[in-house]
Each structure stands twice: as C-alpha cells, then as structure tokens.
Amino acid sequence: MKIAILGGTGPQGQGLALRFASAGVPVVLGSRDAQRAAEIAAELNAQLALPESLIEGQDNLGAVAAANEIVMLAVPYSAHDATLRSIKPLLGGKILVDLVVPLMEGDPKRVAMPVEGSATEAAQALLGEEIPVVGALHNVSAATLKHLEKAINCDILVCGNDLEAKNKVIELIKQLDVQAYNAGPAESARCIEAITPILIRLNISKAVPFTHAGIRIWAPGS
Ligand SMILES: NC(=O)c1ccc[n+]([C@@H]2O[C@H](COP(=O)([O-])OP(=O)(O)OC[C@H]3O[C@@H](n4cnc5c(N)ncnc54)[C@H](OP(=O)(O)O)[C@@H]3O)[C@@H](O)[C@H]2O)c1
C-alpha cells in the first residue's frame, strides 16, 4: 500500500517516510514544490540504501492521487485548512490521517485549539463525513523518527469517528514496531493534540535529563 505524506519535506514527514520505507511501505512525499519533494525523496532513499527506492516526491495534489488509500497531513497548523481545501476533491475513497498539532503561533509550549475542538475535528468538519479523518502520530518527535537505529520510544494514540478507517491506520502504524491504541472518537484529539506542547515544554526544560520524550501507556504488573 503506497501512502502519501503531505508537507512530507518537513522534519516530521521525512522521519515518517524513513520509518515507513524501512518497514517496506512505499511513500510519496507531497510538497508545494514537486522538485523539492523529489530531491528530498532522493536524499532519503540514499540514506536508506534499500535495494529498491521506496520514497518518491510529487506536489501535494500528485501525492494524494498516487496514494492507494492513506494520505497523511504533516503541514504546520497555519496551513492545515487551506491544504485540506485544496486536496478535498481528490480525497474520495481515501482516509486522511491528521497529525497536525495546533501549536500557538510563536510559542510551541502552548496550543491554540480551533473552535471545532481539535485539528482532527476541524479536518473532519471541513472534509465532510464521506472522507474519514483519523488523528494519529501527534506525540512522536521527528528526532525520534529520524534515529532509525533506535526503536520508537513511545506509544501512538489513534482517534477518529470511523472504526474501519481507524483500524486500518492502526495496522499501518504497527508496522513501525510500536504499540498503537484506539483512543476513541475524533473528540479525543482534543487531549492527544494538547499533550504535544507539554512534551515540548519538558524537552526544552533544563530541569529534566532528557529530550525527545514521548508518552507510553503503562499497565502495573505488565
Ligand atoms: N516536528 C515534530 O517533531 C512533530 C511532532 C509531532 C507532530 N508534528 C506535527 O507535524 C506537522 C509537521 O511538522 P514539521 O515540524 O515537519 O513542520 P514544518 O517543517 O513546519 O512543515 C512541514 C512542511 O509543510 C509545508 N508547509 C510549510 N508552510 C506551508 C504552507 N503555508 N502551506 C502549505 N504547506 C506548507 C512545507 O513543505 P513544502 O515547502 O515542501 O510544501 C514544510 O516542509 C505539524 O503540524 C506539527 O505540529 C510535528
């Protein structure tokens, strides 16, 4: 299954592309600039040095068209709605995976949640019920994703109103050797998206001895 990552030229998109390609999943990076996407795809393929180049680059519309079913949105929050509006006509029969965190402009330690409640819910409202939106991958850092020699250090919380779409995304994410949990309906994204600025706050704090923290669901005795 070939997936698209829009805004895939950024750190988060590149990290995800590396991880998915390493797991054997073909990826199309989307960009506003097809040439830039193709160049970054070539760099990532060179870094992976797999027998077959599994990452390609196109403009955002071309990437959506090339994806079999799953399209990930990895643009800044300021570009969230406009990007969705531009790709909406091509999303029929596909699943939109929204990993955008509505960080406050100029202060990544705070969120500015949209009136719909979360970016995931805003995406669902904008795209309409025929196009399932799944929120995921908000709490894993690009730095973690890019360090391929290390296992991903966190669990992935997945939410959305369409169970079938959510289960498909969970199965896809599990190919990255992580736990992915059904965290409930799209409304759960209000909590999941809002955790990220707390992680960023901890990561830049001098009072804690780590960076690139994630969250993990822990069960006593397990
Ligand atoms: N970085 C992380 O560790 C992390 C962790 C969790 C979640 N996230 C979320 O993942 C998303 C991507 O994060 P990132 O750090 O990779 O972001 P980024 O570098 O700021 O942006 C990603 C890409 O989005 C495109 N873009 C930028 N401005 C745009 C605009 N006005 N209109 C359309 N496209 C635009 C650019 O690609 P082109 O110029 O090639 O079009 C850029 O390379 C964000 O929403 C963030 O909240 C990030």
Mean of pLDDT values over 45-56: 97
pTM assigned to the model: 0.97
- The best mutation among 75, 103, 195, 201 to test binding of ligand 1, ranked by most ligand atoms within 8 Å of the C-beta, falls on 75
- Percent over 90 (pLDDT), the chain: 95
Ligand 1 atom nearest residue 145's Cα = 3
Average pLDDT over residues 38-62: 98
Let me know if 148 is exposed, middle or buried by CB neighbors in 10 A (0-12, 13-18, 19+). Answer: middle
pLDDT score of 146 more than 90: yes
H-helix segments, 5-53: 11-22, 34-48
Mean pLDDT (whole number) for 19-43: 98
pLDDT tens digits for range 55-113: 999 999 999 999 999 999 999 999 999 999 999 999 999 999 999 999 999 999 999 99
Whether 162 and 132 have beta carbons less than 8 Å apart is answered as yes
CA of 139 to the centre of ligand 1 (A): 14
Whether the predicted pLDDT of 222 surpasses 80: no
The chain-wide mean pLDDT, for the chain, equals 97
Going by pLDDT thresholds of 50, 70 and 90, the confidence category of residue 221 is confident
Q: Are 150 and 144 in contact (CB under 8 A)?
A: yes
Query: Is the CB–ligand 1 distance for residue 214 below 6 Å?
Result: no
Residue 17: pLDDT band (50, 70, 90) is: very high
Tell me the C-alpha distance between 84 and 20, whole Å.
23
Band of pLDDT at residue 210, cut at 50, 70 and 90: confident
Site to substitute for ligand 1 among 5, 6, 9, 12, most atoms within 8 A of C-beta: 12
State mean pLDDT over 130-158.
97
What phi, psi does 109 have (nearest 5°)? Answer: -90, 5
Is 30 within 8 Å of 37 (Cβ atoms)? yes
Complete DSSP assignment for 162-214? -HHHHHHHHHHHHTTS--EEE--SGGGHHHHHHHHHHHHHHHH-TTSS-SS--
